[in-house]
């Protein structure tokens, strides 16, 4: 296989993974009827805590676990505000995202003593699959895990008891309660699971895609994930096109930067391309809908 | 009694946010007795007050840009702010304009006054509030809600552009990359408007409060070595607390 | 007689409204026990207490002689209680089988066992004659079948006490008869059935015993075989069914104030909701609109008031001129949905009363003096006996009856030639109901044309000078107010030509 092509493909998959994991978290919330648009904040917090724990312990795996645990904890605030107290999801998302921005930048200065970007030889990045003894170079272990999790989520939601209940809670809260389900508990649960997935996403971003933390490094990936969820029709498999599109655009932008494109343009490219494509897709879908008649 | 309920949200939000901030300070090993005076000095001491006002003006301008009163959210503020900044810079190249501190503060204070009057004492203000509280009620009452929402959004965009212009025309009198969006005027304005429940008489107060916090944060960083990002944390906490209290109060009112 | 469940001394208050006041009710195994009362008598609240949806302020529940605590429907289900709600609690996008088993799903090797779920539905269907396709999506089913799904779910959970809240409200007379047969079969297996209704014919036809509620209290207990309609009515409304007070007849005169000509309205899926509807309302008469819920009332009223976006055919004329889109100011309108449409709950009473008069009160081009706004609100509060601590408190702090009086005050003082009223006495007490009726009669006698929609036939017969019946979006009959409820009911369900 042509190394150049393969490295491009792995670049695409690597860029896709964090967005896909975060979007999966958002999708689970959506299925249970929780409008979670705080993915950006959860993702950033996951990236930061992954770097802190990895730096302290010297173990990337500890970083991954730490990010998952810390982001679940952080999501407790989100679930308390938006599920228990039923606060406006948009306002809460703004607050939580701002809080994540502030907390990471603040703690970064407290812990690492400087702002901007932090990297260090002590900071352990995730190994590639090749280093783990598998015959696949370059890719990190969380990338295939993301794909596996998408399939597992689809199975869980569609085929199991808990999946049916989560879908029920999302469709009609009163009906779920009348059927004896504790709707609130399921909704808290999905927000925390989304936290775990965003923790993984953050770990992949900060320890897999690169090995560093910089302020605002989520850079809108959480918002892209929100859009992917909205376009997915809450089917996990349908997250893939939007997330892969972003991955391709980012990988292309990275290549073009190598070819002399200004950095700002390369940075903006994946977002512009993804959003334009997604808006076009949404418009096309809406055009098609009336022709098909009623659903 | 009603008055007490209305007042309680900002009080609880600010109190809660201060409490949590103090907790953060203590956890990271900073004496709050050092940090808070440094914060106040950083905002209002000689020479610093000018910066506080310079930040207050565009933030208040941005606060007008958020049509929460009409039940709408406008989070595209940064883009509009930049557009206004670019336009103002272009205009300034063609037409000589007076320095902004001379006109900026009086201008936004005047606008705040007009806004307060329009909100409480005009048909347009009434219809905007009715739409914000219950869109279907306004539609039922014969208000042309779509037109009104468009007016509110467009007006908001205009104010955001104005705020951008005021920043560019202020010190250091040039279009600096990142100067418009980096200080987070939009987020600060969102926090202030939420905190004031969009009541026009209260918005300038909450904007002033958060601006002092933000500018003072830099003083605190210089004097006490506390990263100024602390102010972002406080704002985030305020927004979450306000969101929670607004719904808890709303539910109590309807039950 | 073996008691399946008892409510003992149940009291429940909602703000100023005492919904249940020391209610005792016992239901035995194998009986069909009717709970009757007028709208607002406290039947639904009582059943919600029994199903764990509301917690009583005092009193408790016994199940098979044991005191139980009900904090949620989950508790109730665990104690063998099942409920069929008036507004179905079903998942529209799930299948019949999924709706039936959810909460007690058959699981094999970690997976939902769909085959077992389908079998469970088919078994129960066959045993009780409740036919439903297990793989059909519930959202696509007619209401009668949806109700069966709710019953199947309760049976799947092995309910020993089955509560049905106004089950026939959505059924045709034929379907209702079928339902009663099913209930008989279920009761024969030892299940206790509580049948909540306000229709006496059903009580007499389908129950073994009856408990009557009025204004939150038990006013009668009977065995069905030993009572009759007169006795039940007396317990329900506190007086015998004498003809209502002699009504002053309408004296409609002149050309129609409201004319509806050949109105057809289609919904987003191009399904006709109203078909070729024509009628007129003259000044000085009240025309009632009757129909089973969802027969086109909503579409008709939205069209008449101008609130429905264009896309309909036919004409609506006010004094001969076409209605204006986006709410015609020439029509006063009292909507059914008090919180969603008729008020903005968080605005003050004064501001809620202002809607529609804001331009009239404005001074010059811009000013809207708050003194004038509040003075007008105080004046209306006095004239319409709205009791509120001040006109500055949010309207949501008022009781339902006072909020309704406020809406009426605002709309009746618009001085419109036409007033459209939906469900004017829903959720208000008897006193307010009488006041509301008096106000509508007054408006009529002043020469206003009144279009009245109500799901309460008694209300229509009391107020309306003519009653038009909507069935599946068509006007199918017109009655004088002395028509019997039976005949009206037949027309509403498409039985009568």
Q: Which residue has the higher pLDDT, B95 or C260?
A: C260
For residues C91 and C27, membership in a common domain is answered with yes
Per-residue pLDDT, averaged over C182-204, amounts to: 88
pLDDT at A195: 95
In whole angstroms, give the CA distance from residue A69 to residue A195. 8
- Ramachandran class of A93: left when φ > 0, alpha when ψ lies in -120 to 50, beta otherwise: alpha
Tell me if chain B has a CB within 8 Å of the CB of C329.
yes
In whole angstroms, give the CA distance from residue C227 to residue A171. 45
In whole angstroms, give the CA distance from residue C61 to residue C52. 10
Q: Spell out the domain ranges in chain B.
A: 2-254
Q: 3-state DSSP call for residue B188? A: helix
C394 DSSP assignment: B
Q: Chain A residues with CB inside 8 Å of C152's CB?
A: none
pLDDT at C285: 92
The shortest C-alpha distance from A263 to chain B (Å) reads 14
Q: Chain B residues with CB inside 8 Å of A94's CB?
A: 75, 187, 190, 239
Measured from the Cβ of residue C458, the count of other Cβ atoms closer than 10 Å reads: 16
Q: Answer yes or no: do A102 and B247 touch at CB < 8 A.
A: no
For residues C322 and C413, membership in a common domain is answered with yes
In whole angstroms, give the CA distance from residue A97 to residue A220. 11
Whether pLDDT at C292 is above 80: no
Predicted confidence (pLDDT) per residue in A271-286, tens digit: 777 777 777 776 766 6
In a domain, residue C392? The reply is yes
Q: Chain B residues with CB inside 8 Å of A103's CB?
A: 229, 233, 236
Where do the domains of chain A lie, and which CATH numbers do they carry? Answer: 3-292 (1.10.3470)
Per-residue pLDDT, averaged over A225-229, amounts to: 87
The shortest C-alpha distance from C478 to chain A (Å) reads 34
- Which contiguous run of DSSP H or E holds residue C264? strand C258-266
Give the closest residue to B237 by CA, choosing from C484, C480, A77, A238.
Answer: A77
Query: Which candidate from A161, A175, A180 shows the least CB-CB separation from C91?
Result: A175
Per-residue pLDDT, averaged over B190-206, amounts to: 79
Percent of chain A with pLDDT strictly greater than 70: 91
Q: How far is CA C442 from the centre of its chain?
A: 25
Distances (CA, A) of B99 to B58, B103, B159: 14, 7, 19
pLDDT at C287: 94
Domain, as residue range, for C296? 264-492
In whole angstroms, give the CA distance from residue A106 to residue C286. 70
The residues facing A121 across adjacent strands are none
Q: Chain C residues with CB inside 8 Å of B122's CB?
A: 362, 366-368
- Among B140-154, B170-184, C9-23, the minimum mean pLDDT is found in B170-184
pLDDT at B5: 41
A204-231 exposure pattern, b = at least 16 Cβ within 10 A, e = fewer: bbbbbbebbbbbebbbbbbbbbbbbbbb
Provide the angle, in degrees to the nearest 10, between the axes of the packed helices B32-44 and B2-27: 110
Model confidence band, residue C43 (pLDDT cutoffs 50, 70, 90): confident
Per-residue pLDDT, averaged over C375-397, amounts to: 87
Q: Please, are residues A138 and A6 in contact by the beta-carbon 8 Å criterion?
A: yes
pLDDT at B241: 83
Model confidence band, residue A292 (pLDDT cutoffs 50, 70, 90): very low
Q: 3-state DSSP call for residue A66? A: helix
Q: Answer yes or no: do B227 and A110 touch at CB < 8 A.
A: yes
Q: Chains contacting C with at least 3 CB pairs below 8 Å?
A: A, B
Predicted confidence (pLDDT) per residue in C321-373, tens digit: 988 888 888 899 999 888 888 888 888 899 999 998 888 888 876 688 888 88
Whether pLDDT at A293 is above 50: no
Q: Answer yes or no: do A85 and B247 touch at CB < 8 A.
A: yes
Per-residue pLDDT, averaged over C75-101, amounts to: 91
Per-residue pLDDT, averaged over B89-98, amounts to: 61
Q: Answer yes or no: do C344 and B138 touch at CB < 8 A.
A: yes
In a domain, residue C217? The reply is yes
Q: Answer yes or no: do C344 and B134 touch at CB < 8 A.
A: yes
Residues contacting residue B239 through CB under 8 Å, at least 6 positions apart: A91, A92, A94, A95, A98, B190, B191, B194
Whether pLDDT at C244 is above 60: no
The residues facing C286 across adjacent strands are C450
For residues C448 and C381, membership in a common domain is answered with yes
pLDDT at C453: 93
Percent of chain B with pLDDT strictly greater than 70: 71
Q: Please, are residues C230 and C68 in contact by the beta-carbon 8 Å criterion?
A: no
Q: Phi and psi (nearest 5°) for A2?
A: -65, 120
B205 DSSP assignment: H
Which residue carries 């730096």 as its tokens?
A55
In whole angstroms, give the CA distance from residue C441 to residue C6. 44
Q: Answer yes or no: do B239 and A77 touch at CB < 8 A.
A: no
Whether pLDDT at B77 is above 60: no
Tell me if chain B has a CB within 8 Å of the CB of C55.
no
Q: Please, are residues A189 and A28 in contact by the beta-carbon 8 Å criterion?
A: no
CA angle A179, A182, A188 (to 5 degrees): 145
Tell me the residue ranges of DSSP E strands in A128-250.
Answer: 213-214
For residues C397 and C336, membership in a common domain is answered with yes
For residues C274 and C226, membership in a common domain is answered with no
pLDDT at C415: 83
Pairing of strands C32-36, C209-214: parallel
Q: Answer yes or no: do C72 and A182 touch at CB < 8 A.
A: yes
CA angle C286, C287, C291 (to 5 degrees): 140
Q: Please, are residues C430 and C462 in contact by the beta-carbon 8 Å criterion?
A: no
Chain C residue nearest residue A292, CA to CA:
C269
Query: Which candidate from A92, A97, A106 shows the least CB-CB separation from B243?
Result: A92
Whether pLDDT at C391 is above 60: yes
- Tokens in use for C14? 């909602």
C237, C272, C300 - which closes a domain? C237
Largest CA distance in chain C: 77
Q: Please, are residues C458 and C426 in contact by the beta-carbon 8 Å criterion?
A: no
Query: Which candidate from C94, C103, C111 shows the least CB-CB separation from A181?
Result: C103
Q: Chain C residues with CB inside 8 Å of B118's CB?
A: 366
Q: Answer yes or no: do B233 and A106 touch at CB < 8 A.
A: yes
Q: Answer yes or no: do B236 and A99 touch at CB < 8 A.
A: yes
pLDDT at C249: 67
Q: Which residue has the higher pLDDT, A254 or A229?
A: A229
- Tokens in use for A20? 């896909």
Mutate to test the interface with C, among B123, B135, B144, B149 (most CBs of C within 10 A): B123
For residues C146 and C277, membership in a common domain is answered with no
Whether pLDDT at C300 is above 50: yes
B122 DSSP assignment: B
Q: Please, are residues C310 and C325 in contact by the beta-carbon 8 Å criterion?
A: yes
Residues contacting residue C386 through CB under 8 Å, at least 6 positions apart: C349, C380, C398, C402, C405, C406, C409
The per-residue pLDDT of chain B, averaged, comes to: 74
Q: Chain A residues with CB inside 8 Å of C88's CB?
A: 175
pLDDT at B172: 56
Pairing of strands C258-266, C111-112: unpaired
Q: Answer yes or no: do C89 and A165 touch at CB < 8 A.
A: no
In whole angstroms, give the CA distance from residue C334 to residue C440. 11
Q: How far is CA A80 from the centre of its chain?
A: 21
Q: Which residue has the higher pLDDT, C418 or B182?
A: C418
In a domain, residue C425? The reply is yes
pLDDT at C362: 83
Where do runs of H (alpha helix) occur along C310-463? 349-354, 358-361, 370-383, 400-412, 430-445, 457-463
Whether pLDDT at C160 is above 50: yes
Percent of chain C with pLDDT strictly greater than 90: 40
Whether pLDDT at A149 is above 90: yes
Chain B residue nearest residue A111, CA to CA:
B28
Q: Phi and psi (nearest 5°) for C18?
A: -95, 100
Q: Phi and psi (nearest 5°) for B183?
A: -70, -5
Model confidence band, residue A290 (pLDDT cutoffs 50, 70, 90): very low
Tell me if chain B has a CB within 8 Å of the CB of C298.
no
Per-residue pLDDT, averaged over A233-258, amounts to: 84
The shortest C-alpha distance from A110 to chain B (Å) reads 7
The shortest C-alpha distance from B246 to chain C (Å) reads 12
B195-230 exposure pattern, b = at least 16 Cβ within 10 A, e = fewer: bbbbbbebbbebbbbbbbbbbbbbbbbeebebbbbb
In whole angstroms, give the CA distance from residue A89 to residue B67. 18
Residues contacting residue C184 through CB under 8 Å, at least 6 positions apart: C32, C206
Per-residue pLDDT, averaged over C397-408, amounts to: 85
Number of domains into which chain C is organized: 2
Q: Phi and psi (nearest 5°) for C7?
A: -105, 130
Model confidence band, residue C248 (pLDDT cutoffs 50, 70, 90): low
Give the closest residue to A65 by CA, choosing from A203, A250, A214, A249.
Answer: A203
Whether pLDDT at B171 is above 50: yes
Q: Chain C residues with CB inside 8 Å of B198's CB?
A: none
Q: Chains contacting B with at least 3 CB pairs below 8 Å?
A: A, C
Distances (CA, A) of A77 to A34, A65, A100, B238: 14, 19, 11, 13
- Tokens in use for C398? 């008022």
For residues C287 and C138, membership in a common domain is answered with no
Per-residue pLDDT, averaged over C11-39, amounts to: 87
Q: Please, are residues A210 and A260 in contact by the beta-carbon 8 Å criterion?
A: no
Q: Chain A residues with CB inside 8 Å of C74's CB?
A: 177, 180-182
pLDDT at B1: 33
- Ramachandran class of C327: left when φ > 0, alpha when ψ lies in -120 to 50, beta otherwise: left
Distances (CA, A) of A89 to A83, A86, A95, A165, B244: 9, 8, 10, 22, 10
Q: Which residue has the higher pLDDT, C279 or C310?
A: C279
Whether pLDDT at A75 is above 90: yes
Q: How far is CA A51 from the centre of its chain?
A: 16
A52-68 exposure pattern, b = at least 16 Cβ within 10 A, e = fewer: bbbbeeeebbebbbbbb
Predicted confidence (pLDDT) per residue in C424-477, tens digit: 887 776 678 888 898 999 999 888 999 999 888 888 988 999 999 998 888 999
Chain A residue nearest residue C105, CA to CA:
A161
Residues contacting residue B19 through CB under 8 Å, at least 6 positions apart: none
Distances (CA, A) of C300 to A99, A116, A222, C255, C294: 50, 63, 46, 21, 11
For residue C326, what is the domain's CATH number? 3.40.50.300
For residues C281 and C405, membership in a common domain is answered with yes
Helix, strand, coil content of chain B in percent (nearest 5): 80, 0, 20
- Among A182-191, A207-216, C18-27, the minimum mean pLDDT is found in A207-216
Q: Could you say which residues from 12 to 31 on chain C have a Cβ atom under 8 Å away from some Cβ of chain B?
A: 15
Chain A residue nearest residue B239, CA to CA:
A95
Q: ipTM score here?
A: 0.81
- Tokens in use for C401? 């009856």
């Amino acid at each position: 296989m042509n190394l150049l092509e393969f490295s491009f493909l792995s670049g695409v998959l690597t860029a896709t993974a964090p967005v896909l994991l975060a979007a999966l978290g958002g999708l689970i919330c959506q299925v249970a009827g929780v409008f979670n648009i705080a993915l950006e904040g959860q993702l950033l917090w996951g990236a930061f805590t992954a770097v802190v724990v990895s730096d302290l312990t010297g173990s990337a795996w500890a970083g991954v676990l730490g990010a998952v645990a810390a982001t679940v904890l952080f999501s407790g605030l989100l679930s308390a505000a938006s599920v228990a107290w039923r606060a406006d999801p948009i306002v809460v998302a703004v607050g939580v995202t701002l809080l994540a921005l502030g907390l990471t930048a603040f703690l970064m200065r407290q812990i690492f003593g400087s702002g901007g970007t932090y990297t260090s030889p002590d900071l352990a990045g995730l190994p590639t699959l090749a280093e783990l003894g598998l015959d696949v170079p370059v890719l990190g272990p969380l990338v295939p895990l993301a794909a596996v999790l998408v399939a597992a989520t689809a199975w869980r939601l569609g085929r199991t008891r808990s999946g049916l209940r989560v879908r029920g809670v999302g469709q009609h809260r009163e009906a779920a309660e009348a059927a004896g389900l504790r709707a609130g508990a399921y909704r808290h649960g999905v927000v925390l699971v989304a936290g775990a997935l965003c923790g993984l996403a953050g770990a992949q971003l900060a320890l897999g895609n690169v090995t560093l933390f910089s302020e605002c490094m989520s850079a809108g990936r959480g918002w892209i994930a929100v859009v992917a969820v909205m376009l997915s029709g809450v089917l996990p498999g349908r997250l893939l096109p939007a997330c892969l599109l972003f991955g391709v655009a980012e990988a292309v932008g990275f290549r073009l930067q190598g070819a002399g494109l200004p950095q700002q343009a390369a940075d903006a490219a994946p977002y512009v391309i993804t959003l334009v494509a997604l808006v076009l897709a949404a418009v096309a879908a809406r055009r098609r809908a009336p022709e098909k008649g009623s659903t | 009694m009603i008055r007490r309920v209305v007042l309680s949200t900002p009080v609880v939000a600010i109190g809660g946010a201060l409490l949590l901030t103090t907790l953060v300070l203590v956890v990271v090993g900073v004496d709050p007795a050092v940090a808070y005076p440094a914060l106040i000095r950083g905002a209002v001491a000689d020479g610093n007050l000018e910066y506080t006002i310079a930040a207050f003006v565009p933030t208040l301008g941005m606060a007008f840009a958020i049509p929460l009163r009409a039940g709408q959210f406008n989070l595209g503020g940064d883009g509009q702010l930049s557009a206004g900044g670019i336009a103002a810079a272009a205009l300034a190249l063609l037409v000589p304009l007076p320095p902004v501190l001379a006109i900026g503060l009086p201008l936004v204070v005047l606008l705040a006054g007009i806004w307060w009057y329009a909100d409480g004492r005009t048909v347009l203000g009434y219809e905007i509030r009715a739409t914000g509280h219950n869109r279907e009620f306004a539609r039922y009452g014969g208000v042309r809600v779509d037109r009104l929402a468009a007016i509110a959004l467009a007006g908001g965009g205009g104010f955001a552009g104005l705020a951008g212009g005021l920043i560019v025309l202020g010190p250091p009198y040039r279009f600096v990359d990142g100067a418009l969006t980096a200080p987070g005027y939009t987020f600060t304005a969102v926090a202030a408007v939420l905190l004031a429940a969009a009541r026009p008489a209260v918005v300038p107060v909450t904007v002033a409060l958060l601006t002092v916090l933000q500018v003072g944060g830099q003083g605190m960083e210089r004097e006490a070595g506390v990263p100024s990002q602390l102010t972002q944390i406080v704002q985030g906490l305020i927004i979450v607390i306000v969101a929670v209290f607004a719904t808890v109060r709303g539910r109590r009112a309807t039950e | 007689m073996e008691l399946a469940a008892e409510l003992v001394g149940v009291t429940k208050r909602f703000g100023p409204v005492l919904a249940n006041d020391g209610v005792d009710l016992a239901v035995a195994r194998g009986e069909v026990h009717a709970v009757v009362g007028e709208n607002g008598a406290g039947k639904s609240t009582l059943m919600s207490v029994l199903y764990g949806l509301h917690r009583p302020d005092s009193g408790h529940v016994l199940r098979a002689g044991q005191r139980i605590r009900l904090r949620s429907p989950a508790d109730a289900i665990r104690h063998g209680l099942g409920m069929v709600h008036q507004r179905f609690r079903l998942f529209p996008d799930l299948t019949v089988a999924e709706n039936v088993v959810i909460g007690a799903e058959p699981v094999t090797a970690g997976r939902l066992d769909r085959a077992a779920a389908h079998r469970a539905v088919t078994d129960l269907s066959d045993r009780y004659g409740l036919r439903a396709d297990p793989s059909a999506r519930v959202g696509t089913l007619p209401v009668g079948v949806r109700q069966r799904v709710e019953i199947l779910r309760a049976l799947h959970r092995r309910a020993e006490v089955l509560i049905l809240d106004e089950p026939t409200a959505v059924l045709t007379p034929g379907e209702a008869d079928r339902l009663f047969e099913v209930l008989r079969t279920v009761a024969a297996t030892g299940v206790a059935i509580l049948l909540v209704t306000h229709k006496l014919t059903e009580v007499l036809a389908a129950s073994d015993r009856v408990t009557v509620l009025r204004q939150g209290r038990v006013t009668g207990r009977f065995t069905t075989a030993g009572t009759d309609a007169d006795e039940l009515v007396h317990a329900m409304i506190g007086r015998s069914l004498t003809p209502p007070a002699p009504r002053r007849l309408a004296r409609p005169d002149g050309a129609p104030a409201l004319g509806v000509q050949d109105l057809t309205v289609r919904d987003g899926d191009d399904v006709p909701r109203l078909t070729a509807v024509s009628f007129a309302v003259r000044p000085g008469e009240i025309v009632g609109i009757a129909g089973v819920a969802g027969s086109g009332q909503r579409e008709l009223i939205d069209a008449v008031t101008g609130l429905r976006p264009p896309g309909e055919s036919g004409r609506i004329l006010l004094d001969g001129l076409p209605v204006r889109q986006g709410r015609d100011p020439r029509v006063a309108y009292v909507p059914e949905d008090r919180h969603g449409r008729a008020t903005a709950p968080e605005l003050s009473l004064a501001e809620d009363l202002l809607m529609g008069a804001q331009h009239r009160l404005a001074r010059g081009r811009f000013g809207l003096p708050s003194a004038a706004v509040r003075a007008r609100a105080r004046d209306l509060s006095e004239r319409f006996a709205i009791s509120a601590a001040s006109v500055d408190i949010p309207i949501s702090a008022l009781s339902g009856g006072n909020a309704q009086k406020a809406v009426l005050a605002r709309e009746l003082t618009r001085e419109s030639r036409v007033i459209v009223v939906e469900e004017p006495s829903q959720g208000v007490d008897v006193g307010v109901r009488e006041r509301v009726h008096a106000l509508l009669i007054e408006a009529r006698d002043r020469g206003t044309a009144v279009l009245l929609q109500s799901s309460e036939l008694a209300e229509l017969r009391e107020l309306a000078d003519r009653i038009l019946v909507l069935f599946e979006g068509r006007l199918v009959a017109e009655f004088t107010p002395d028509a019997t409820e039976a005949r009206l009911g037949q027309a509403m369900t498409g039985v009568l030509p």
